Amino acid sequence: MLIDTYGRVATDLRVSLTDRCNLRCTYCMPEEGLQWLGKSDLLTDDEIVRLVRIAVTHLGITEVRFTGGEPLLRPGLVGIVERVAALEPRPQMSLTTNGIGLKRTAAALKQAGLDRVNVSLDTLRPDVFKTLTRRDRHKDVIEGLAAAHEAGLTPVKINSVLMPGLNEEEAPDLLAWAVEHDYELRFIEQMPLDAQHGWKREGMVTAGDILASLRTRFELTPEESGERGSAPAERWTVDGGPHRVGVIASVTRPFCAACDRTRLTADGQVRTCLFAREETDLRAALRADGPEGDDEAIARIWKLAMWGKKAGSGLDDPTFLQPDRPMSAIGG
Distances (CA, A) of 193 to 136, 221, 257, 285: 23, 31, 21, 28
Q: How far apart are CA 293 and CA 295, in angstroms?
A: 7
Q: How far apart are CA 89 and CA 87, in angstroms?
A: 6
Q: How far apart are CA 162 and CA 208, in angstroms?
A: 12
Q: Per the annotation, where are the binding residues for GTP? A: 14, 65, 96, 157, 261-263
Pair type for strands 261-264 and 12-16:
parallel
Q: Per the annotation, where are the binding residues for S-adenosyl-L-methionine? A: 27, 69, 120, 191
Order of strands across the sheet with 92-97?
220-222, 234-238, 244-248, 184-188, 157-160, 116-120, 92-97, 63-67, 12-16, 261-264, 269-271, 280-281
Spatial contact of 113 and 79, defined as CB atoms under 8 Å apart = no
Distances (CA, A) of 113 to 151, 181, 187, 214, 289: 11, 24, 27, 35, 32
Q: Per the annotation, where are the binding residues? A: 14, 21, 25, 27-28, 65, 69, 96, 120, 157, 191, 256, 259, 261-263, 273
The one-character DSSP state at 235 is: E
Spatial contact of 313 and 274, defined as CB atoms under 8 Å apart = yes
Spatial contact of 121 and 170, defined as CB atoms under 8 Å apart = no
Spatial contact of 281 and 246, defined as CB atoms under 8 Å apart = no
Q: How far apart are CA 48 and CA 54, in angstroms?
A: 10
Q: Per the annotation, where are the binding residues for [4Fe-4S] cluster? A: 21, 25, 28, 256, 259, 273
